[in-house]
Amino acid sequence: MRALVSSSKVKRVGIVLGILLVASGVVLLAFKLTRPPSGHIKVEYGGMSKSGVFIDLENLSTQTIYLVGSGTDVWPGYAKTECKAPDYSTGDSDGYVLSDGYPTKIKVSQGSRVRLSIETKLPRQYKGGHCRVRLELMGGTFVESSVFTPN
């Protein structure tokens, strides 16, 4: 009796199915990492640091979120600070920054809180003024602090 399908055809079908399975897994993982989180992410001013400001970020969303940085230092270019004078007459924002090196991911799990360090000179220049910090999460979602007065 002759086999209905040759063994080489079975191997090829198996390889194709394996490739499709791996590819679909990669697509699902990429979708999970890039889809915007649902829920609330609290971003609050935590005070001045030597090189900028501290931001307290609390992840009240339904999924783990990631930022680009090293340790708790947000990588330049993924945080933007805007400040205005006390009378709102003048203002400024961080310019674009070129960075060198290899950042890692800052992981913030659901329900956890982390103190982030943001490098910026603006709050020191606008003491008594009005500032806010905007953070870019991995995947392209932005979260922003309320307006705060640098001390």
Yes or no: is domain 39-144 CATH 2.60.40?
yes
**How does pLDDT run across 46-65, given as a tens digit for each residue?**
999 999 999 999 999 999 99
User: What pLDDT sits at residue 94?
Assistant: 84
| CB hemisphere CA count around 9 (13 angstroms) | 4
| CB hemisphere CA count around 148 (13 angstroms) | 22
Residue ranges of the chain whose pLDDT lies below 50: 1, 23-31
Structure tokens at 80: 């933007």
